[in-house]
Structure formats: structure tokens, C-alpha cells
């Protein structure tokens, strides 16, 4: 690929984490962009896929793809509109010296990509508040998924949170409105998942994926409100797992198909909400944050006669 560099690690950087190495030599590269490049295997170390926390050794060879940092600087230099700044502040459901937690609406991307110029990562300056730096992304949720998104307010907090998410120390709970009603009413879905294009599919060759679930309420056998707690972090894990047991999430155009618009005239949105996150392990005290339900969930519950107590 034109523009790819192979950079050898200097002895002065021996033992440095990969993310810190990029911060040192490519300071214009955002954490969100770095994570995306790592996730898509565009950055490698000694020809192998690498994680942000990998410790580098003298002489290691880092594959650096074309970064187009000039365009990134130009994008960051564009003024954030007052309307978008206000929207970002309204999304905040919790803030302290270490983190900011947002309740992201369905349809707003976390990071940029093809044909996606408006996203959370590009509007973080609105959430700087009293700090001298913008908050940082430490995880992501799908564009069409609503709910909790945690931001780190400092570089040190970002490292701690990234490790906690990677090691599954932060327990997340999602709410999903599905077609059908899972049987049994609670249990664990154990189905290996493998990326196939833009989807994850059940495959014996895939990575281990575990999702605990329980039915909170249901409208006969037609619809159910399901609480899902992923124990692993695979792409589209909850969406693929619920589809695999015959209960696809309403509004899911990847795992449900064209029928999604024909379901009792429910809103044409994905009914998956990142509802709750338990941060107690980080704070050494009980710390559970929830995100109020979006309006399309509330309307559907009223229409279907499903009860949910927040």
C-alpha cells in the first residue's frame, strides 16, 4: 500500500506501550482513530496484529499506514456548531474528574468512516469543560445502538478504562426488544462468532462468545423485552446471538431483514439500548450508571403493553 511506513523502535523507547509510542511520534493521531486502525489490522508490530497496550522492544518493526493527519487536523479545526455542542452537553448523564458518561441516541456514529462526517469523536471538544484537553473514547457502541458511552477525561484514565473494558471488568447491561420470546426465559447463549463482511456469523471456527440473558416482560409469544449481559466483547454479539435463538432484535437491518418495517408500525430504529454499566470495580464503591430509555422504546412498550420499571 502506498504511503505505508515500517518504523523500527529505538532503544530509548524500549518497553513503551504501543499507544504511547504513537502519541509520542504521531501526536495528531486521535485515540479513537488509533483504536480503529488497530482493530482493522492496519497497524501491526513485527507483521502481527497488535493491541494498544503491547509493550515494544528495541528493533521491533511497527507498520504505520497512511494517516492523512493533515486532513484530520483540518477536520478538528472546523468550528463545532452551537447546536451540536448543545446536543453533546445534553447527552451527559454523569460527570466527575475521571469520566464522562453519555446517553447516545440511535443513529449517531461514535467514530467517523466512509460517508460518516458527523460523529461523537469529532465533537468531543464540547465536553472539555474545565479540563485543558478533550475527553477520549475508550470503547464504542454501534451507530444504531442507543445508550451509554463512557469517555475518559485524562490520558491516565483512558489507559485504565481501556484495560478495564478489554478485561471485562466493567459489566454492561443492554435492553433489547425482540420478535418472539426466548425459551427458556433466562440462560446463557454460547455460540462462537466470526466476522463475515459487515456481520458476525455463528461458526465453529469463530471466537468464543457468551451472552447472559433474561426475559423481563413479553407480549404473548410475539414480542419480548430482553435484558442481555455480554460476557465477551465480539462485534454485534448481542444482535447475532439473539438472532441465533430465533429472536432477532426489532429494527435490525443486518440480522432481521426487510420485515423490520412491518412490525405493528413500530419506529424504524434498532431496539437495542446500552442501559446500565457497573463501574464499582474502578471506584472501589458501588457505582452503577443507567441511561434513560429513548422515546422509540417508550412508545413501543405502550403500544405492545410491555412493562418496564426504570
Q: In the numeric block, which cell numbers belong to residue 100? A: 464522562
Residue 257 DSSP code: -
Asked whether the CA dihedral 52, 147, 143, 225 is positive or negative, the reply is positive
With residues binned 3-state (H G I as helix, E B as strand, rest as coil), the percentages for the chain, rounded to 5, are: 30, 30, 45
142 catalytically annotated: yes
Distance CA 307, CA 224 (A): 10
Q: Is 120 helix (H, G, I), strand (E, B) or coil?
A: helix
Residue located via cell numbers 451540536: 84
| Angle in degrees, 0-180, between the axes of helices 31-39 and 18-25, rounded to the nearest 10 | 130
Distance CA 189, CA 27 (A): 42
Question: Which of 142, 144, 157, 252 does the annotation list as catalytic?
Answer: 142
Q: Which residues are catalytic?
A: 142
Amino acid at each position: 500500500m502506498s504511503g505505508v511506513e515500517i518504523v523500527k523502535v529505538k532503544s530509548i523507547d524500549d518497553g513503551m506501550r504501543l499507544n504511547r509510542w504513537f502519541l509520542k511520534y504521531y501526536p495528531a493521531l486521535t485515540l479513537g482513530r488509533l483504536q480503529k486502525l488497530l482493530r482493522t489490522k492496519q497497524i501491526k508490530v513485527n507483521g502481527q496484529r497488535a493491541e494498544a497496550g503491547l509493550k515494544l522492544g528495541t528493533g521491533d518493526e511497527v507498520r504505520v499506514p497512511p494517516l492523512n493527519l493533515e486532513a484530520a487536523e483540518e477536520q478538528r479545526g472546523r468550528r463545532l456548531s452551537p447546536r451540536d455542542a448543545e446536543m453533546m452537553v445534553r447527552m451527559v448523564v454523569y460527570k466527575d474528574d475521571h469520566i464522562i458518561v453519555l446517553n447516545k441516541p440511535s443513529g449517531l456514529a461514535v467514530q467517523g468512516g466512509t460517508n460518516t462526517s458527523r460523529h461523537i469523536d469529532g465533537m468531543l471538544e464540547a465536553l472539555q469543560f474545565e479540563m485543558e484537553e478533550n475527553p477520549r473514547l475508550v470503547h464504542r457502541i454501534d451507530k444504531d445502538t442507543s445508550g451509554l458511552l463512557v469517555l475518559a477525561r485524562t490520558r491516565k484514565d483512558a489507559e485504565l478504562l481501556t484495560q478495564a473494558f478489554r478485561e471485562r471488568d466493567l459489566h454492561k447491561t443492554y435492553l433489547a426488544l425482540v420478535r418472539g420470546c426466548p425459551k427458556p426465559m433466562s440462560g446463557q447463549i454460547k455460540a462462537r462468532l466470526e466476522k463475515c463482511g459487515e456481520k458476525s456469523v455463528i461458526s465453529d471456527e469463530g471466537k468464543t462468545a457468551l451472552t447472559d440473558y433474561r426475559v423481563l416482560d413479553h407480549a404473548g409469544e410475539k414480542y419480548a423485552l430482553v435484558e442481555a449481559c455480554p460476557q465477551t466483547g465480539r462485534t454485534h454479539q448481542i444482535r447475532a446471538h439473539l438472532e441465533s435463538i430465533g429472536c432477532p432484535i426489532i429494527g435490525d437491518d443486518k440480522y432481521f431483514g426487510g420485515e423490520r418495517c412491518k412490525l405493528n408500525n413500530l419506529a424504524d430504529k434498532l431496539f437495542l439500548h446500552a442501559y446500565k454499566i457497573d463501574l464499582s470495580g474502578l471506584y472501589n464503591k458501588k457505582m452503577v450508571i443507567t441511561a434513560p430509555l429513548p422515546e422509540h422504546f417508550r412508545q413501543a412498550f405502550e403500544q405492545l403493553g410491555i412493562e418496564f420499571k426504570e
